[in-house]
A and B are shown apart, each in its own frame.
Chain A
């Protein structure tokens, strides 16, 4: 069964997302809303990660390193200047999509397995992942025009 592979992928990507929210929170302390909401959303992913871990054990996980690479690519350059915030939020959003897609895949398996617990966990976590994405998208939309049209380097 390759479920464990995907659980590993999910586990890893929730962890990446949690770390990335934390990173962005610290980096953008001067934006009070970013600092606080990212803290909160990081905690959500941390909680999800804990929940996923228990399923990894249940389905004897094999490590996957794919999302690791993703984060490296996403937050690669040392960013500074006006674009930084927008680019960081952009990358957070991409990571959140990765998580969301993993959950969709896992849900399909949970249905097939008739694993009620996994289904319930999916429902809880996936709804919150969507809320993370919604917040990111809202904040990106807010920042975009000012950053691209008015701000200087």
Chain B
């Protein structure tokens, strides 16, 4: 075993302070000396760090960061350095399984696929294709999502397709669409190299994207360090480094953001010229935020007025600013509206579209950007607008099908509704790929009940047995990262290629091969009678080339990229085309946004009700490339602590784990660093309940109860925290999944569920 640093003990590694050009540092961890290296990128969070996979005798033996990569300059974090061992785990699924007489039994691919195909055909016959739904992931490759998108939209013609990305990044996409007319992050990671100020809202970047946090730490350690404003109810690693840390009560992001904007507008820190030339809605926004004086904000949120002023001064006077938002915003009440306030801050100050200034409506999962781009979630491929007939026609031409074959009569079904249709029985077949909803969905008792329903046929394709595969009718063993070739795009629009390094174990197949095989067996055909996918797609490279055509002229333009170009150097940012052959670091440099009526991805929504706006209403607004400034007033959360359930629960991630730990839990070191779930509570609350560190605590909400060992301190009184990673596949001796407690409800615009608050009560369990 050889490693360049111990990332478990020292998560972020030694400092290389800088300003301007982030120095390289190659992090490496191998079990044995590889006989060759294969280019890839890490798939354990949305950062997408460029890495090489070390291979010896046909087996993965380690990874190293790619020094040339613009995302990480050689660095890797603990998950990246350790997570690859999951590929070699003896627990991998290697054969298809079929449920016979109540038991999952090994079967051949032919048996498994025949069963899925005959079930599909029967359902289409009896109930139309709308009886079939797909629930996918933020962890497949773009070629796979695009194949899935075409299978669902042009092959079957079902509107029911979404990803678990609904749980993690739907609000990122929604907020970008609301303000700028289309998905797409305006800035670049390189903005961090020179920026004067950084704002993290509900984003524990230090734990979530360790490598990006290294970049921030290195700036803080270099000359002219940026000022750092952190908004988070918890004292996270990120908050520890803040110049100003605002810790609002759960569910009060909107009052804090409104208060900040109010102070900035009032002090005249805004760029009137920019506002006038490039935005719509300033007066309304000003009116909405005007009520939020510092003292009113303090009263409601607990953020001291002088701290709010200090933060406003930093955010109002810096000449450049990088802002990021994540789950603390996205999984909270008024998610989209609060995320939009971050965009508003940049628009009001004209800090967008130039070096040093960027907005990151962050993603959680590594390939969530592609789920959104390729139409494997509730969006259409290439950020097309489902309400725009012309856009539907473009897709119909690309796929050579009739436009009415593509469901566009109402917005594509979002995940939470999809599960509801399963519950009601109108979706009768659910195909889950690359995700483990029985740990990650809210209100797990309900989710389990749905998947166990007799009349729901469940297909799950995954690399491991999970809580979810246990309830499947068919389980398909999937090949994963390192075992297949494909591309994916990080949160910063940077596209990486990941080459196949080793063969998948046993009979496991790539998701791409599985979807293409389904299409072939279903005999999906285009208008001229040619097979839909299989007539032109032999390899994932063919799919990538088809995808390029789909993006032509759209903001996520891939037409200048190819497998060859992506191989060898750094990842490349879209848009990449004839005009920008090496990709583009900033969108909207000219202040012309994607809001033109013929171009925009959406006609927008009512931020309070979520009602979609019609084309006719949009015509009246006629934004012609101006960005929207939008604001709403505060609404209290739907469930608040009361006498029976007196504490707030919030959930979140740990630095050592990803998602439901199916990969990271199989690394000895990552597992040892964070072996079990826990409930964190304030010292005051612990004293009140007579709880000491390590006591077993029952935590109960209106949905369920779990048992967790106590961890005391580093959290606001009245609030308890439970990490969301832990389920039952490796330990089932007690109920411990945080989502046993969470609520089924969602943001009206992004439809992202509210994981960040629930009312709970606790008591000590005597052993």
Residue positions of A touching B, CB distance < 8 A: 30-33, 36-37, 40-41, 82, 131-132, 134-135, 137-138, 141-142, 144-147, 149-152
Chain B: which residue is nearest A132 at the CB level?
B609
Question: Are A138 and B611 within 8 A (Cβ)?
Answer: yes
Task: Report if B619 contacts A (CB, 8 A).
Answer: no
Residue positions of B touching A, CB distance < 8 A: 127-128, 130-131, 159, 409-411, 413, 416-417, 420-421, 424-427, 606, 608-613, 635, 638, 744-746, 748
Q: Which of A31, A40, A132, A152 contacts B425 (CB 8 A)?
A: A152
Docked complex Cα distance between A137 and B614 (Å): 11
Q: Which of B130, B420, B610 contacts A150 (CB 8 A)?
A: B130
Chain B: which residue is nearest A143 at the CB level?
B410
Q: Write 13 A-B pairs (CB below 8 A) sorted by A numbering.
A: A32-B416, A32-B745, A33-B748, A36-B745, A131-B608, A135-B610, A138-B610, A146-B426, A147-B426, A149-B127, A150-B127, A151-B424, A151-B426
Q: Is the interface of A mostly helix, strand, loop or mixed?
A: helix
Question: Are A134 and B609 within 8 A (Cβ)?
Answer: yes
Question: Are B409 and A145 within 8 A (Cβ)?
Answer: yes
Question: Are A40 and B609 within 8 A (Cβ)?
Answer: yes
Question: Are A131 and B611 within 8 A (Cβ)?
Answer: yes
Taking the closest CB of chain B, its distance from the CB of A129, in whole angstroms, is 12
Question: Are B420 and A31 within 8 A (Cβ)?
Answer: yes
**A141/B409 contact (C-beta < 8 A), A41-B609, A146-B426 known:** yes
Docked complex Cα distance between A150 and B424 (Å): 11
Taking the closest CB of chain A, its distance from the CB of B171, in whole angstroms, is 15
Chain A: which residue is nearest B420 at the CB level?
A31
Question: Are A149 and B424 within 8 A (Cβ)?
Answer: no
The interface residues of chain B lying within 8 Å CB-to-CB of A147 are 426
Taking the closest CB of chain A, its distance from the CB of B120, in whole angstroms, is 14
Docked complex Cα distance between A141 and B417 (Å): 14
Taking the closest CB of chain B, its distance from the CB of A54, in whole angstroms, is 23
Q: Which of B421, B424, B609 contacts A131 (CB 8 A)?
A: B609
Question: Are B409 and A82 within 8 A (Cβ)?
Answer: no
Question: Are A146 and B421 within 8 A (Cβ)?
Answer: yes
**A150/B128 contact (C-beta < 8 A), A37-B609, A141-B409 known:** yes
Chain A: which residue is nearest B612 at the CB level?
A138
Docked complex Cα distance between A36 and B636 (Å): 12
Docked complex Cα distance between A146 and B129 (Å): 10
The interface residues of chain A lying within 8 Å CB-to-CB of B416 are 32
Q: Which of B410, B609, B638 contacts A145 (CB 8 A)?
A: B410
Taking the closest CB of chain A, its distance from the CB of B178, in whole angstroms, is 16
Q: Is the interface of B mostly helix, strand, loop or mixed?
A: loop
Question: Are B745 and A131 within 8 A (Cβ)?
Answer: no
Q: Which of A32, A36, A141, A149 contacts B410 (CB 8 A)?
A: A141
Taking the closest CB of chain B, its distance from the CB of A46, in whole angstroms, is 16
The interface residues of chain B lying within 8 Å CB-to-CB of A141 are 409-410
Question: Are A33 and B746 within 8 A (Cβ)?
Answer: yes
Known: A145-B130, A145-B159, A149-B127. 16 other contacts (CB 8 A): A32-B746, A33-B610, A33-B748, A40-B608, A82-B424, A134-B606, A135-B609, A135-B611, A138-B610, A141-B410, A142-B410, A146-B130, A149-B130, A150-B127, A150-B427, A152-B425
The interface residues of chain A lying within 8 Å CB-to-CB of B748 are 33, 37
The 6 closest A-B pairs by CB, nearest first: A135-B611, A134-B611, A135-B609, A151-B426, A32-B745, A150-B426
Taking the closest CB of chain B, its distance from the CB of A60, in whole angstroms, is 35
Q: Which of B130, B417, B606, B638 contacts A36 (CB 8 A)?
A: B638
Q: Which of A37, A40, A134, A150 contacts B131 (CB 8 A)?
A: A150
Chain A: which residue is nearest B606 at the CB level?
A131
Taking the closest CB of chain A, its distance from the CB of B337, in whole angstroms, is 13
Question: Are B744 and A37 within 8 A (Cβ)?
Answer: no
Docked complex Cα distance between A32 and B744 (Å): 7
The interface residues of chain A lying within 8 Å CB-to-CB of B610 are 33, 37, 135, 138
Taking the closest CB of chain B, its distance from the CB of A100, in whole angstroms, is 15
Docked complex Cα distance between A138 and B417 (Å): 14
Docked complex Cα distance between A142 and B408 (Å): 11
Which of A31, A33, A37, A132: most chain B CB closer than 10 A? A33
Taking the closest CB of chain B, its distance from the CB of A110, in whole angstroms, is 23
Chain B: which residue is nearest A35 at the CB level?
B745
Docked complex Cα distance between A129 and B474 (Å): 48
The interface residues of chain A lying within 8 Å CB-to-CB of B410 are 138, 141-142, 144-145
Taking the closest CB of chain A, its distance from the CB of B41, in whole angstroms, is 37
Chain A: which residue is nearest B614 at the CB level?
A134
The interface residues of chain B lying within 8 Å CB-to-CB of A41 are 609
The interface residues of chain B lying within 8 Å CB-to-CB of A138 are 410, 610-612
The interface residues of chain A lying within 8 Å CB-to-CB of B611 are 131, 134-135, 137-138
Taking the closest CB of chain B, its distance from the CB of A112, in whole angstroms, is 27
The interface residues of chain A lying within 8 Å CB-to-CB of B745 are 32-33, 36
Docked complex Cα distance between A41 and B421 (Å): 24
The interface residues of chain B lying within 8 Å CB-to-CB of A135 are 606, 609-611
Docked complex Cα distance between A56 and B763 (Å): 55
The interface residues of chain B lying within 8 Å CB-to-CB of A82 are 424, 426
Chain A: which residue is nearest B743 at the CB level?
A32
Docked complex Cα distance between A131 and B617 (Å): 12
The interface residues of chain A lying within 8 Å CB-to-CB of B128 are 149-150
Docked complex Cα distance between A152 and B420 (Å): 15
Docked complex Cα distance between A137 and B613 (Å): 11
Chain B: which residue is nearest A134 at the CB level?
B611
Taking the closest CB of chain B, its distance from the CB of A64, in whole angstroms, is 29
Chain A: which residue is nearest B421 at the CB level?
A146
Chain A: which residue is nearest B751 at the CB level?
A33
The interface residues of chain A lying within 8 Å CB-to-CB of B131 are 150
Docked complex Cα distance between A33 and B417 (Å): 9
The interface residues of chain A lying within 8 Å CB-to-CB of B744 are 32
